[in-house]
Structure formats: structure tokens, C-alpha cells
Amino acid sequence: MKPNKTTTDNLNINGNWHQKRDRLKQKFSVLTDDDLSYAEGEEEELVGRIQQRLNVPREIAQKIIRYV
């Protein structure tokens, strides 16, 4: 595995995605349901959609997901 590869573990979304998704929608009202759609193994796509919608660097998008 590449060190920079985004995984479920390093985004801290194991088992609690619905709660995180709801908090993200509350904190960032610009995020849509499509932006926040997630299936296991699609972490890179999720980060990319959030990065694009919020217009932030990839690392910031990852931190937002991880710490919300």
C-alpha cells in the first residue's frame, strides 16, 4: 500500500459513515448527497468530490473527513 493512499482507517470512517456524513452536511451546507455518497473502497473518490466542492487541497479534504 502506498503511504499516501486514502483508506477507511486513515479517514476514520469505519462503521460510522452515516454520522460523519450528517455532521459534514451540517457543517458544510454546500455538500450534496452525491458529494457524500460513499461505498467501501471508494475513499479516493469521496475525498476528490469533497476537495472539489469545497475548493480545498486534498490534504485538507482528508482532514475534514477525518476530524468532523
Q: What is the CATH number of the domain that holds 63?
A: 1.10.1470.10
What does the pLDDT read at residue 1? 42
pLDDT (average), residues 2-30: 83
**Is the pLDDT assigned to residue 44 strictly greater than 60?**
yes
Collect all residues with Cβ–Cβ distance below 8 Å to 55 and sequence separation of at least 6: none
State how many domains the chain has. Answer: 1
Sign of the CA dihedral running 45, 48, 54, 58: positive
**Is the pLDDT assigned to residue 11 strictly greater than 90?**
no
What does the pLDDT read at residue 47? 96
Domain that holds residue 19: 8-67
- The label of the residue with cell 482532514 reads 63
Report pTM.
0.84
Average pLDDT score, the chain: 89
**Residue 2 is assigned to a structural domain of this protein:** no
Burial 16-52 (b: 16+ CB within 10 A, else e): ebeebbeebbeeeeebeeebbebeeeebeebbebbbe
Q: 40 falls in which pLDDT band (50, 70, 90)? A: confident
**Is the pLDDT assigned to residue 30 strictly greater than 90?**
yes
